[in-house]
Amino acid sequence: MKKKLKLLLKILFTAGALWFVLHKVDIEKLKEALSGAEPLWLFGAFILFNLSKIAGALRLNIYFRAIGLKLTESYNLVLYYVGMFYNLFLPGGIGGDGYKVYLLNKHYKSGVKPLLQAVLLDRLSGLAALVLYACLLFAASSYAEIYPFAMPLALFFALLVFPVSYLATKLFFRTYLPVFKTTMLWGLGVQFLQLLCAWMIVESLGAGGYLVEYLTLFLISSVVAVLPLTIGGVGIRELTFLYGLGWLGLEPSTGVTFSFLFFIITAISSLFGLFLLERVTPETPRST
């Protein structure tokens, strides 16, 4: 009942946020932006998004190896995409991360706690890179001119990201300290690929004149989307672009269109996991 109530609240929040956004934007301009998006740029964005997910799977496997769990990269990638499918299309169930922890603990006896820590740190390394890029882009955007007091704060937080991450790892996740540098570098690479994906979506909409601002809002919306308030971040991203572009006096319809297109790319990519479900039969454990 508790899970059903949480799912219901997520659905209501997602629907309410979308309803609010759609009542604040010009629907005709939204339709024009969607229909006018350049397919080649969107295809490039799709490729880059999936490259970021492949890089994310490689990063996660580094954490698994740190606890002695040796999975082939191909099998780990299958699990990663199946997890994406669970997260987006079965939000009321065990979830993608929970599914991976359950399956790997069941067949490899790696322990629930180490697996949960590995999955959590994988998320946190990605979040650290998101915050770093968001702070740096904010400092270089028009928002820093509108809110000059926020620029030194953004740079200060950017400087703190990795020292704080290192300290937290050393204090609470010492087992993973030897792979800290490697995983953080992978995290930067993953989010850089996501930024390139976002850049291509912006170019597909012909909004390249405000590229830094769009990328800043994309990163901020990605950080906010981590909160378990909506399904797949839908609604939260659109609200971020609605108000973020509004503060600059820009037409928000293109930003909302950007959010829709990013979600479509995410959904299509996550659907790959549906066709990989039959391949999650565990491998023969490799020696550690």
* Structure token pair of residue 174: 């010492």
Q: What is the pLDDT of residue 91?
A: 60
How many C-beta neighbours within 10 Å does residue 167 have? 11
CB 175 within 8 Å of CB 183: no
Domain membership flag for residue 32: no
What's 285's DSSP letter?
A: P
Q: How far is CA 285 from CA 72, 108, 260, in A?
A: 10, 7, 41
Q: What is the pLDDT of residue 285?
A: 47
Mean of per-residue pLDDT scores for the chain? 89
Q: How far is residue 75's CA from residue 145's CA, in Å, rounded to a whole number?
A: 48
Domain membership flag for residue 19: no
Q: What is the pLDDT of residue 287?
A: 40
Q: What is the pLDDT of residue 216?
A: 95
Domain membership flag for residue 81: yes
Structurally, the chain folds into a number of domains equal to: 1
- Flag residues of the chain having pLDDT under 70: 1, 3, 7, 91-94, 228-229, 232, 282-288
Domain membership flag for residue 82: yes
Q: What is the pLDDT of residue 166?
A: 96
Domain membership flag for residue 21: no
Domain range for residue 170?
Answer: 61-279
Q: What is the pLDDT of residue 107?
A: 87
Helix axes 150-172, 112-140, angle to 10 degrees: 160
Domain membership flag for residue 84: yes
Ordered DSSP codes for 220-260:
HHHHHTTSTTSSTTTTHHHHHHHHHHHHTT--HHHHHHHHH
Q: What is the pLDDT of residue 279?
A: 85
Domain membership flag for residue 214: yes
Domain membership flag for residue 112: yes
* Structure confidence by residue, pLDDT tens digits, 201-246: 999 999 888 999 999 999 999 988 877 667 767 788 899 999 999 8
């499918």: which residue's tokens? Answer: 85
């912006």: which residue's tokens? Answer: 202
Q: What is the pLDDT of residue 50?
A: 98
Q: What is the pLDDT of residue 148?
A: 87
